[in-house]
Structure 1
Amino acid sequence: MTDTCNETFELFGDQWNLRIIDSIHLENRRFTEIQRLTTINTATLTKKLKYLEKLGLLDRIQEYCDKQSVAYRLTELGRELLPIIKKMRHFSSQLDVSAKE
């Protein structure tokens, strides 16, 4: 299997990556907003944001009104994941979670 394919599996297999992307899809979000929406602890969120930025899915942007404040936004590549997340949400609504042991 290619490294690119493995990276994609890691992206989708991690419990936080798609939640972070989904939390940013409507607007730019600050760290604390993402943390509140996803309930991820500070250390994990920091690590995941850096990872998603490295993959080219997020941009870290300095806010215009406050030079010390940064926000995150989806890149064009990151926005390509939104229809996939929507389909995953639809698929999960059809699962019988009571079957889980």
Structure 2
Amino acid sequence: MRPIHDESCSVAACAEIIGAKWTALLVHDLSEGPRRFSELEHSCAGISPRTLSERLRALEDERIVERHSYAESPPRVEYELTAKGDALLPIIEEMRRFGHSWLVEEPAAVS
């Protein structure tokens, strides 16, 4: 029997791209405009610099994020979403809505 979700499944392909820890959060953060590495590191409290570099590189490889280097002193690098990255934003927004509706814990009862 052939698996339902093989490597040609578009849902599986999308999940592979944005399913890695931190990736959806990075896309969401970049939806507000270009960000520097340090800004992304700060907004994703707990992400290591190595993991952030890996995720940004993977998003660049998928052409979801563009990296812009500026010849300034000190050097400045910014990351921003491409048109492909912008196309992911409705999916990220629906994830946010789902989380608010179904995953937010009820506050503990005060006695």
2:29 aligns with one of 8, 23, 29: 23
**How do 1:49-64 residues align onto structure 2 when only pairs under 5 Å count?**
49-63=56-70
**SS at the partner of 2:102?**
coil
**Is 1:42 the equivalent of 2:49?**
yes
Q: 1:53 to 1:2 in 2, by over 3 A?
A: same
The equivalent of 1:77 in structure 2 is 84
Q: 1:32 to 1:80 in 2, by over 3 A?
A: same
The equivalent of 2:101 in structure 1 is 94
Q: State the percentage of identical aligned residues.
A: 29
Residue type of the alignment partner of 2:68: I
Residue 77 (structure 1) shift: 0.3
The CA distance in 2 between the partners of 1:63 and 1:4, in whole Å, is 39
Unmatched 5+ residue regions in structure 2? Answer: 1-5, 106-111
Q: Normalization by structure 2: what TM-score?
A: 0.77
Q: 1:66 to 1:28 in 2, by over 3 A?
A: farther
Residue 14 (structure 1) shift: 1.6
Q: 1:14 to 1:64 in 2, by over 3 A?
A: same
Q: Is the 8 A contact 1:62 1:71 kept in 2?
A: yes
Residue 62 (structure 1) shift: 1.6
Q: 1:67 to 1:7 in 2, by over 3 A?
A: farther
Q: Is the 8 A contact 1:11 1:18 kept in 2?
A: no
Residue 75 (structure 1) shift: 0.2
The CA distance in 2 between the partners of 1:64 and 1:72, in whole Å, is 15
Larger Rg: 2
Q: How many residues align?
A: 99
Unmatched 5+ residue regions in structure 1? Answer: none
